[in-house]
Structure 1
Amino acid sequence: MGEGIPYCGSGPLPDEIWGRWNGDPVLLGLLAAAGLLILLHPPGGVRRKACAAAAWAVLVLAFVSPLCALSSALFSARALHHLLLIAAAAPLIAAALPDAGPARRPGAGLLVATLAQTAALWLWHMPGPYAAALADGTLYWLMQATLLGSAVLFWSTLRTAAPAGAARLSALLAMVMQMGLLGALLTFVPAPLYAAHFATTLPWGLTPLEDQQLAGLVMWVPAALPYLAAALVPLAGWLAAAHRASPEPQG
């Protein structure tokens, strides 16, 4: 794309959206190569194969489907796009990677991974860096790579932690809290912040501020759910096991 034009093109009108699939030959070639690699040399184990295929499908949805174009028009669609990367594709990619061995104390690695994902998320949702990424193709892909890469690092490092250990639960709680804080800021700030969408939201029935508030709600609730589930499911199992192991009260 040219200077100042988003990678996914200019924001589409509602009657154009279903014709706005991304036909970038480089992207399609990379996705096709990744798909063939998964098909011909799949990861071992049914679970890892399924996770790799699902991650590929999520990336196609994010970058090839009309969602890519819609994210040029609506900041809320961009929030959904980022959500697919960090909370869907990233944990699936991490789950498709080779097993890291038995659970251990992750130490500083999990802290670094948590800080890296938090830093990437907040950096690219600041108005200045966000506007720069939409105006320059190189920065656009840097945004996508750092968001996805830091999230894969987080989820893969998380796999090395004990399921109900303090480090794992603390990291997940930190992610839930910072997602909620970012979402709350976007929801309650009294003025629109993202100039790239000032002229593109009205055809979709939203003012720029309403679009931003919708993006905040996406970041506040749906984006936090995978992290919350990852914390609650093993914790619930641990509590159930502790309850079963406790002696029955005497009648």
Structure 2
Amino acid sequence: MTLAPVWTPYCGAAPDLGEWRWNLDPILLLVLAAATGLIVVRLHGPRRLFGLAAVAVLAVGFVSPLCALSSALFSARTVHHVLMVAVAAPLLAWALPERRQGALLLATAVQALVFWVWHAPAAYSAALSNDLVYWVMQISLLVSATWFWGEARAASAPAAVVALLAAMLAMGLLGAILTFAGQSVYAPHAYTTLVWGFTPLEDQQAAGLIMWAPASALYLFAALGRLGGLLGSDVEARAA
């Protein structure tokens, strides 16, 4: 008889249906409090608001019951990661000083590669087996995405639109692969989804749809925003 492996994710064991467990890790709370204090002291105006909003989004991902739920459902983990790379990361990028590095192509490739690598079954399982690997995953996702959004912010509108559409395609392609895989591939969730009313495959398909539609749409909306700004500036220039 082969026993199922016991996974020990950072957010704790998978909760039962209806169990909404908050993560009150004192080190995490201290880091978030320190980040909040630093933002209040060092940033001003809109940059302060962007920074505080980013910390609030990270708190939702790591402190709220979403953290524990992500131990049970891969779809919840996907929501967690999307909040990091497509909500918290752009907010952080707008909170930081704008710097034109000229590395938009590299940043686009790196952030997509990091996201894909950590959603490979072996890497994902390792992150849910060891807290150090877990934090390497989370920090690398956030840093690479913040770099990408910062580069997209500083780049010209046409270049930013192309990069954002490329990021959208990378996110959507991974989502499509997970949606149509035909079998569940994430061992940590093989025994944790049923109590929440999902088979492991249904949970994986839900995660794929989240990446494929709403997550990809965030990059599309950002691209449309930059394109709209470009067209608006052209109209103003012609009117002048």
Q: TM-score, normalised by structure 2?
A: 0.92
Aligned twin of 2:138: 144
Larger Rg: 1
Aligned twin of 2:70: 71
**Of 124, 133, 151, which aligns to 1:130?**
124
The structural deviation recorded for 1:119 is: 0.9
Give per-residue Cα distances to partners, 1:18-75, cap 9 Å, x unaligned.
xx11111111111111122223x0413x211110110010011000001000000000
1:21 and 2:22 are equivalent in the alignment = yes
Give per-residue Cα distances to partners, 1:113-144, cap 9 Å, x unaligned.
01110111000100000001100110000000
Deviates more, 1:197-206 or 1:3-12: 3-12
Mapped to 2, the partners of 1:235 and 1:153 lie a distance apart of 21
Deviates more, 1:116-125 or 1:233-242: 233-242
Aligned twin of 1:215: 207
**Aligned partner letter, 1:88:** V
Mapped to 1, the partners of 2:43 and 2:62 lie a distance apart of 23
Q: 8 Å contact 2:51–2:92 — kept in the other structure?
A: yes
Pairing of 1:1-251 with structure 2 (within 5 A): 4-17=7-20, 20-39=21-40, 41-44=41-44, 46-100=45-99, 107=102, 109-162=103-156, 164-165=157-158, 167-242=159-234
Q: Decide whether aligned partners of structure 1 residues 34 and 244 sit closer, same or farther in structure 2, where only a CA change above 3 A counts.
A: closer
Mapped to 1, the partners of 2:154 and 2:230 lie a distance apart of 17
Q: 8 Å contact 2:98–2:150 — kept in the other structure?
A: no
Poorly superposed stretches of 4+, deviation over 4 Å = 240-247
Q: Output the aligned Cα RMSD.
A: 1.7
Mapped to 1, the partners of 2:195 and 2:7 lie a distance apart of 21
**Aligned partner letter, 2:60:** L
Aligned twin of 2:3: none
**Aligned partner letter, 1:137:** D
Q: 8 Å contact 2:13–2:71 — kept in the other structure?
A: yes
Mapped to 2, the partners of 1:140 and 1:151 lie a distance apart of 17
**Aligned partner letter, 2:128:** L
Mapped to 2, the partners of 1:246 and 1:187 lie a distance apart of 46
Unaligned 5+ segments in structure 1 are: none
Mapped to 1, the partners of 2:218 and 2:18 lie a distance apart of 33
Q: 8 Å contact 2:127–2:134 — kept in the other structure?
A: yes
Q: How many residues matched?
A: 234
Mapped to 1, the partners of 2:80 and 2:233 lie a distance apart of 38
Mapped to 2, the partners of 1:174 and 1:99 lie a distance apart of 22
